[in-house]
Structure 1
Amino acid sequence: MSIRATNQADVIPRRPLPAAVPALPREPLWRDLVGEVLRRERQAQGRTLKDVAEAARISMPYLSEVERGLKEASSEVLAAAAQALGLSLADVLALAGERLVSLTAARSRSRSLGPGAAGGRRSVRPAGPAGPTGSAGATRPSGPMGGVLLAA
């Protein structure tokens, strides 16, 4: 037996390695949400990128990049694309806001159900004894959109 073979030993860890924590979906970006709304509306109307880009007077490649969330469009470009689709800028922003709320709620659910969810994370909800309803832990949505405030 050689010295090299004698000095080699199997290492057995004392504790098991921590299990891999599943990655949460990334925070949605506003440009992705707005692009998704524009694409969904265009496709629902059965229109092509070329048709909508010409009606909005913006380039077809740029509109494609906006729809895919690769470009952050100005409010003028968004308003032109919305108008070309028969929508207002407010319609596009409201639809994107609704999508953001649903994705954020799904993300919060997956975070609260995942392993180690209580491990040092602070809650965003108030921990006070009385909310708007006057009972502990129960809250009533407030504001014009049921607890969602959108600012432009």
Structure 2
Amino acid sequence: MSEVAHLGPGGPRRHQPLLRTLVGEVLRRRRIEQRRTLADVARAARVSLPYLSEVERGRKEASSEVLAAVCAALGLDLADFLTDVRLRLVTQVAPAHRHQSPVARRPGDALLLAA
């Protein structure tokens, strides 16, 4: 289970998974799916093994440069990786706690994903 942040001033608090935890979970799952060792991926990404281990365990927040290097080492497109993290976030947030804002979509509207 992911660590959570408690959001919301006063009133009811929402539980939101920590992004660093989700990032680590997705990286570890992808690495294991490829049957690669932590040492192998760390070496290919040119990051230290202890640091990559901390990132996978959600203890450290990786910079965009480190994430790009690890994704490249795993043969993943960074956009696909971030989409995977987003999907994990969406599935872990209880539907009752999701912010539901009525948004009318129009042709030409863009969706912005941020990590």
TM-score, normalised to structure 2's length?
Answer: 0.74
**Match 1:88 to one of 74, 77, 87:** 77
Residues 36, 132 of structure 1: alpha-carbon distance in 2 compared, 3 angstrom cutoff: same
Other-structure match for 1:102: 91
Residues 25, 76 of structure 1: alpha-carbon distance in 2 compared, 3 angstrom cutoff: same
The structural deviation recorded for 1:102 is 1.0
Residues 85, 108 of structure 1: alpha-carbon distance in 2 compared, 3 angstrom cutoff: same
Residues 124, 95 of structure 1: alpha-carbon distance in 2 compared, 3 angstrom cutoff: closer
Other-structure match for 1:18: none
In structure 2, how many angstroms separate the alpha carbons of the residues matched to 1:126 and 1:57? 42
In structure 1, how many angstroms separate the alpha carbons of the residues matched to 2:45 and 2:66? 8
Residues 97, 108 of structure 1: alpha-carbon distance in 2 compared, 3 angstrom cutoff: same
Query: Which deviations, in whole Å up to 9, do the C-alpha atoms of 1:2-44 show, x marking residues without a partner?
Result: xxxxxxxxxxxxxxxxxxxxxx994201111111110000000
**Equivalent residues, number:** 100
In structure 2, how many angstroms separate the alpha carbons of the residues matched to 1:91 and 1:60? 24
Pick the structure with greater CA Rg: 1
Between the two structures, name the one with larger relative contact order (CA 8 Å, sep ≥ 6): 2
Where has structure 1 moved over 4 Å in runs of 4 or more? Answer: none
* Higher percent of residues as strand: 2
**Does 1:125 find its partner at 2:100?**
yes
Q: Which structure 2 residues correspond to residues 131-142 of structure 1 after superposition, within 5 A?
A: 132=104
State the percentage of identical aligned residues.
57
The structural deviation recorded for 1:89 is 1.6
Residues 25, 38 of structure 1: alpha-carbon distance in 2 compared, 3 angstrom cutoff: farther
What's the C-alpha RMSD, in Å, of the aligned pairs? 2.6
Residues 124, 85 of structure 1: alpha-carbon distance in 2 compared, 3 angstrom cutoff: closer
Structure 2 alignment gaps of length 5 or more: 1-12
Other-structure match for 2:54: 65
